[in-house]
Amino acid sequence: MNASWGARSETGLVRKGNEDSYLVQEPLFVVADGMGGHIAGDVASSTAVEVITNEAGQADATNPETLAQIVRHANARIFERAEEDNSLHGMGTTCTLLMLDDGRAHIAHVGDSRAYLLRNDHFDQVTEDHTLVARMVREGRLSEEEAHRHPQRSVITRALGVDDEVDVDVSTVNLEDGDRVLLCSDGLSSMVPDKAIAEVLAAEADPQSAADRLVDLALDAGGEDNVTVVVLYVEDGEASGDPEVGRATGMSSAAAAVPAPAAWAAPAERAPAEQTGVVSAIPPRATESTVVSDETPARRSIARRLVVSLVVLAVVAGALYGAGRYALQNSWFIGVNEDGFVTVYQGRPETIAGMTLSEAEEVTALRVDDLPEYVHDDLEEGIKVESLEDAHAAVTNLENRSRPPDERG
């Protein structure tokens, strides 16, 4: 079994920087979509790729769990960096890592970047989106169609770097002659219908041409997000020796454990920037792993993605506020619980499609009825604070405003 591949990443027409990173280093292929503000998103996704590159030698095709382990290491490293540096706080990234083995593709996955498989007339998403809307579709609360248009479709429930541990999905696809595999960030899948993606993969004879056309479709559709694609074409038989196309040729498990130097499927000359609206594109380099991350300094892009950790926290979509992505583990507010007690919550007071984004952290002994009327509305809406310490200070402040028992009606 042979594979040839192509790849392309673009900032798009709206964002100021490219927070996506990708890696093409036979037998490993990665798409990572960072979040947390322009710089932090870059750092998150490129750190994922760095860790994967450094630990590529530990990837063992006979034990796909080794891929999950590498992704967990990437998670730990990103989390560590976010803890060390305040400006990176709350950053995270998706990560879809594919390892080619002889006749198989192993995939380790976290987030809402996707792996797709085109086989004959069937085009299927191989990965499961770790998003709020995907979960609601599985629970029968949203249709696929509604999910695709949902304003909070980018709220993701799992990402690298948000918590010190992460669950990693691992799956294996047995490859067949003619299979076409796509890894992409949601800048493609949210802008271009699956049917159009499948048509390009079916029509293009060359994976780099397919990658280029897919990105062009996303840009033509508005290019609202960074868009990154890695395309792999699988064939039976010997490699053609075409120097323009990287080939993963019949790798044994042993060979796969020690990756060969990356071969790069050199793309055709890129269209000029004025044609694609691209701020900058770093050309792929031969003979080394290619990590694309647009370094253009710019004001923070308007956020659109919120991270929701299912354990304790969530993040509210920037779409709700117009700016900023919030990691819910770092968000606090004061509200009122169902029994009427002032309560400190971790998370955000808003709901998304009826789902709360908060958990009660501390229930105080303070009753809302004992507080002056003018704070009732604020408390019902939720008074946002910066930290748990600020929450405690706010509660103390409220306690001071509560009416003494002898003045209560």
- Give the nearest distance from C-beta 231 to Ca ion in angstroms: 18
Interface size with Ca ion, residues (CB under 5 A): 5
Could you identify the residue written with the tokens 């009327």? 373
**Do 159 and 92 contact (CB within 8 A), yes or no?**
yes
Nearest residue to the partner Ca ion, using Cβ: 33
Closer residue to Ca ion (CB): 223 or 382: 223
Q: Out of 10, 33, 294, 350, name the contact with Ca ion by CB under 5 A.
A: 33
- Give the nearest distance from C-beta 35 to Ca ion in angstroms: 7
Q: Based on the shown chain and the rule CB under 5 A, indicate whether residue 55 belongs to the binding site for Ca ion.
A: no
- Give the nearest distance from C-beta 178 to Ca ion in angstroms: 30
How big is the chain, counted in residues? 409
- Give the nearest distance from C-beta 238 to Ca ion in angstroms: 38
Q: How far is CA 213 from CA 9, 151, 270, in A?
A: 12, 26, 11
**Do 160 and 111 contact (CB within 8 A), yes or no?**
yes
Span near Ca ion by CB under 5 A; candidates 208-216, 220-228, 244-252, 315-323:
220-228
- Give the nearest distance from C-beta 308 to Ca ion in angstroms: 16
Q: Based on the shown chain and the rule CB under 5 A, indicate whether residue 294 belongs to the binding site for Ca ion.
A: no
Q: Tell which residue, 209, 150, 186, 28, has the closest CA to residue 101.
A: 28
Could you identify the residue written with the tokens 């117009």? 322
Closer residue to Ca ion (CB): 225 or 350: 225
Q: Tell which residue, 364, 367, 368, has the closest CA to residue 377.
A: 368
Q: Is the dihedral of CA 113, 141, 308, 223 positive or negative?
A: positive
Closer residue to Ca ion (CB): 133 or 263: 133
Cα separation, 181 vs 392, in Å, equals 52
Query: Count of H helices and E strands in the chain?
Result: 12, 16
- Give the nearest distance from C-beta 186 to Ca ion in angstroms: 5
Distant-in-sequence, close-in-space partners of 241: CB < 8 Å, separation ≥ 6 = none
Closer residue to Ca ion (CB): 149 or 401: 149
- Give the nearest distance from C-beta 269 to Ca ion in angstroms: 26
Site track for Ca ion across 296-335, x = CB under 5 A: ----------------------------------------
Touching Ca ion, residues 136-195 (CB under 5 A) = 185-187
Closer residue to Ca ion (CB): 185 or 346: 185
Q: Tell which residue, 191, 189, 183, 224, has the closest CA to residue 318.
A: 224
Q: Tell which residue, 13, 9, 8, 39, has the closest CA to residue 279.
A: 13
Closer residue to Ca ion (CB): 100 or 191: 191
- Give the nearest distance from C-beta 191 to Ca ion in angstroms: 10
Span near Ca ion by CB under 5 A; candidates 69-77, 221-229, 326-334, 353-361:
221-229
Phi-psi region of 263 (alpha: psi -120 to 50; beta: other; left: phi over 0): beta
Q: Based on the shown chain and the rule CB under 5 A, indicate whether residue 225 belongs to the binding site for Ca ion.
A: yes
Closer residue to Ca ion (CB): 97 or 336: 97
Closer residue to Ca ion (CB): 185 or 301: 185
- State the greatest distance between any 2 C-alpha atoms of the chain, in Å, as a whole number: 90
Strands 114-119 and 169-174: unpaired
Binding site for Ca ion (CB under 5 A): 33, 185-187, 225
